[in-house]
């Protein structure tokens, strides 16, 4: 078995977030069918319209701040995380979600994180959690605790905490896999389901049944699966009636994560194929791209990401520098543990 190049996987993960986010941003708020009628060949469209893809959003910004907090504290320290997220307000935020923005503004004004968090079930924690999955990839219990705690800083809702744990655990699993060898889909689902199986919290239990449904639908056409999962778990008054029977991914954490995982496990042939499907999912396309991109990047690694997609990125050298520093902290931790 070929030895895993972890530096390549760390770099691939952070690049995957930024690329998925950048490619999905221009299509945010559009139905998948509208995107598909406009874009016949995604690769060609990107290369001909590079100016459209000139920035990532808050998904990548907060992923970078999460990584920086881990680097700063050589692991999870809540004060470092609060400081890092408050610093995001100076970036300034690009297309921020309501849950993250309101909670972090409260943190800035000295309100304790225990009181600042919004009771939002939005996808703002799953989109930024990949550095935790990387850093704690050899420590499943610490990974789970940190993904959970880092979520609570801005989102106290169980859908947000569970989604962050699932994505972090998926990242940890995927960085140990070689795309030439593949991996067991059943094992992958068993591991991510197991990561949230020790709670009777009703929304976590519901999420487990949703992940099982995603597993059962592997091989279903992407459009059909997205219609099925776009608003799964969403309740009134947040369910969008006009998009019933349409592919329009809801920003509810469980719906977004279900769609990102569904696309990823159905598009394991190449990073490029996977990222184009993610970015054209419809609805909250930048966040589906960021979350699914973190999975694809963790699996395929940087060496399997086409250079023209890396070159598209704003601040690519900065992102790669963050990935390297995070990897060095990971290496240091694993030498001493």
Q: DSSP letter string over 34-96?
A: HHHHH-SSHHHHHHH-GGGG----HHHHHHHHHHHHHHHHTS--HHHHHHHHHHHTTS--SS-
6-332 is classed CATH 1.10.4080.10: yes
CA distance 182 to 149: 32
249: left (phi over 0), alpha (psi -120 to 50) or beta: beta
pLDDT in tens, the chain (337 residues): 568 999 999 999 999 999 999 999 999 999 999 999 999 999 999 999 999 999 999 999 999 999 999 999 999 999 999 999 999 999 999 999 888 999 999 999 999 999 999 999 999 999 999 999 999 999 999 999 999 999 999 999 999 999 999 999 999 999 999 999 999 999 999 999 999 999 999 999 999 999 999 999 999 999 999 999 999 999 999 999 999 999 999 999 999 999 999 999 999 999 999 999 999 999 999 999 999 999 999 999 999 999 999 999 999 999 999 999 999 999 999 886 5
At residue 335, the pLDDT reads: 85
As beta bridge partners, residue 249 has: 283
Q: Cβ contacts of residue 285 below 8 Å, gap of 6+?
A: 24, 25, 27, 28, 30, 35, 249, 278, 279
- Report the candidate in 178, 168, 278, 284 with the shortest Cα–Cα distance to residue 231: 284
Instruction: Read off the DSSP letter of residue 268.
Output: -
* pLDDT score recorded for residue 5: 96
For residue 301, count other CB atoms closer than 10 A to its CB: 27
Max alpha carbon distance in the chain (Å)? 55
Instruction: Give pairs for 92-99: CB < 8 Å, separation 24+.
Output: 93/58, 93/61, 94/55, 94/56, 94/57, 94/58, 94/61, 95/25, 95/28, 95/57, 95/58, 95/286, 96/57, 96/58, 97/58, 97/122, 97/123, 97/124, 97/251, 98/122, 99/124, 99/154, 99/155, 99/160
Q: What is the pLDDT of residue 2?
A: 67
What number of other Cβ atoms are within 10 A of residue 107's Cβ?
A: 21
Give the count of beta carbons closer than 10 Å to the beta carbon of residue 197: 11
Handedness of CA 150, 153, 156, 159 (dihedral sign): negative
pTM: 0.98
The reported pLDDT for the residue numbered 254 is 98
pLDDT confidence of residue 101: 94
Distances (CA, A) of 200 to 2, 140, 183, 204, 213: 40, 20, 29, 7, 19
Asked if residues 123 and 257 have their Cβ atoms less than 8 Å apart, the reply is yes
In the numeric block, the tokens 């791209």 are attached to 289
Where in the chain are the domains? 6-332
């Amino acid at each position: 078995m070929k030895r895993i190049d972890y530096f390549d996987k760390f770099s691939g993960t952070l690049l995957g977030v930024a690329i998925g986010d950048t490619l999905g941003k221009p299509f945010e708020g559009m139905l998948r069918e509208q995107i598909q009628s406009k874009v016949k060949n995604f690769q060609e469209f990107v290369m001909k319209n590079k100016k459209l893809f000139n920035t990532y959003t808050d998904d990548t910004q907060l992923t970078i701040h999460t990584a920086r907090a881990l680097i700063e504290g050589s692991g999870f320290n809540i004060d470092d995380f609060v400081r890092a997220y408050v610093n995001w307000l100076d970036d300034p935020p690009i297309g921020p979600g309501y849950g993250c923005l309101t909670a972090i503004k409260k943190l800035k004004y000295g309100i304790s994180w225990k009181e600042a968090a919004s009771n939002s079930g939005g996808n703002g924690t799953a989109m930024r959690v990949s550095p935790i999955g990387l850093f704690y990839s050899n420590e499943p219990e610490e990974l789970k605790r940190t993904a959970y705690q880092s979520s609570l800083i801005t989102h106290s809702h169980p859908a947000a905490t569970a989604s962050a744990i699932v994505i972090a655990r998926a990242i940890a699993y995927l960085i140990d896999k070689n795309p030439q060898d593949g991996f067991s889909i059943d094992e992958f689902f068993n591991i991510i389901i197991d990561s949230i199986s020790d709670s009777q919290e009703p929304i976590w239990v519901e999420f487990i049944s949703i992940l099982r449904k995603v597993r059962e639908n592997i091989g279903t056409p992407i459009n059909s699966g997205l219609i099925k999962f776009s608003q799964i778990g969403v309740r009134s008054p947040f369910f969008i009636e006009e998009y019933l029977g349409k592919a329009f991914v809801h920003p509810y954490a469980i719906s977004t994560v279900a769609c990102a995982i569904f696309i990823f496990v159905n598009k394991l042939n190449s990073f490029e194929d996977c990222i184009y499907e993610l970015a054209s999912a419809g609805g909250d396309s930048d966040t589906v791209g960021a979350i699914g991109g973190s999975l694809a990047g963790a699996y395929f690694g940087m060496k399997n990401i086409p250079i023209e997609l890396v070159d598209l990125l704003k601040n690519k050298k900065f992102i790669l520098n963050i990935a390297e520093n995070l990897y060095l902290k990971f290496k240091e931790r694993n030498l001493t543990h």
